[in-house]
Each structure stands twice: as C-alpha cells, then as structure tokens.
Amino acid sequence: MVLITEEIRAKAMIVYGDEIGQEKTVFLLQEVGLPTGLLPLKDIIECGYVEETGFVWLKQKKKIEHKFQKVGRQVIYGTDITAYVEKYKIKKLTGVKVKELMVWVTLGDIVVEDPENGKITFRSPTGLFRTFPASAFDGEGPVREIKEPMGVLDKKNTKETNEVKEGMVGNEDKKEAILAMEGMVVNEVKEAILAKE
C-alpha cells in the first residue's frame, strides 16, 4: 500500500463522508471508462484523488465483502484501498482480494482491454488473470461487513457454484465463466508444480 504523505494530500482533491465519497468514486470510474460497480464500498470516510498522477485512495470504516452475481465472484474490500487510474485501467491496486475457488487472491490491475466488446480483465501481482464481460460489474448490489477471517470457506458459495456447474441455476454464460475459470486455475497449478520439478 502507498503511504499517503502530506505532499500527496497537498496535491489531491479530498472529500470526506460516505455520500460524497460514493459519488466521486462512481464519477471517477465513469471518467476513466470503467464499470461503475467495481467499487461497491460502504461507509466511506475519505476519498482522495491526485489528478496529475492518477493516484486514488479510499478509506472506509470496515472491510466489506461483495458478490458479483453475474460472474459468481466474491470480493473483499479492505479499509484502505489505493490505486493509480488512467483511461480504461486501474493499476497497482491495493486492498482488494477476490476468491478463486477456496483461496483469496490479491488484485493488482483491472483493465478494459476491449472497450468495444465490453471485456474487462483482472490481474493479480503474481500473473494470474481472468476476463469477464464488463457489464457484469455495472451498478452495485448489497455489501456485507466482514466478520470472519479471510480464507474461511464459504459453504453457501460452494453450493451455489456447484448448482451452476450442474446447470441447475443461472444462465449459460455464468456456467461457462465458472467452468473456464476453474480449468484455468487447475492448469496454472499443474504448470507451477511441473516448473518446480
């Protein structure tokens, strides 16, 4: 995470409070061409933006968890989130983790690589990545405060994922996205094991 110094604060536009923080966050996402539901935060305390560098920080009262229903992904947003934004990109993101199978993975970059076809790619600092339809991240849904430690298996989510895999709920796009993601993770684990041998 980037230390927010007095020098950075002096160059930044800073707002305080949840309502104005939410508005500025949505406005900034719109300005850089990213889906407005990427940061469904709650109880924002402070939001800062340094236009010349694109540096952004957000502080909220508590960690929250949000599930993006259209892609079946759970995301944890920490109390302090920082990033650099530019057109169609969020770079050097800190404070955000996504659940991949049963493991929480830190996100590092978010890029709309194909704005015309609405594809958005999420990358971890370790090189893992996933691409989804950008429309899956428009708008926002309910968030919940984190009460259990990160890494605890969410049995409800596993049940929902299994139902989707079996075709019992959801549409074909969601089912394909989950199966593709799981296949990619398995292949990456196999490659990592083979590389060590």
**Structural tokens at position 171:** 């549409």
Query: Which residue shows structure tokens 């893992």?
Result: 128
Question: Rounded CA gap, 130 and 167, in Å?
Answer: 22
Residue spans of alpha helices (H) in 32-154 = none
Q: Is the pLDDT of residue 91 over 90?
A: yes
Please, what is the average pLDDT of the chain? Answer: 77
Per residue in 119-129, pLDDT (tens digit) is 999 999 998 89
Which has the higher per-residue pLDDT, 147 or 25?
25
Per residue in 130-168, pLDDT (tens digit) is 999 998 888 654 444 444 333 333 333 333 334 433 443
**Structural tokens at position 32:** 């850089």
Using DSSP, how many helices (H) and how many strands (E) does the chain show? 4, 11
pLDDT mean over 75-99: 95
Label residue 117 by pLDDT band (50, 70, 90): confident
Label residue 52 by pLDDT band (50, 70, 90): very high
**Topology of the domain covering 6-152:** at5g01610, DUF538 DOMAIN (2.30.240)
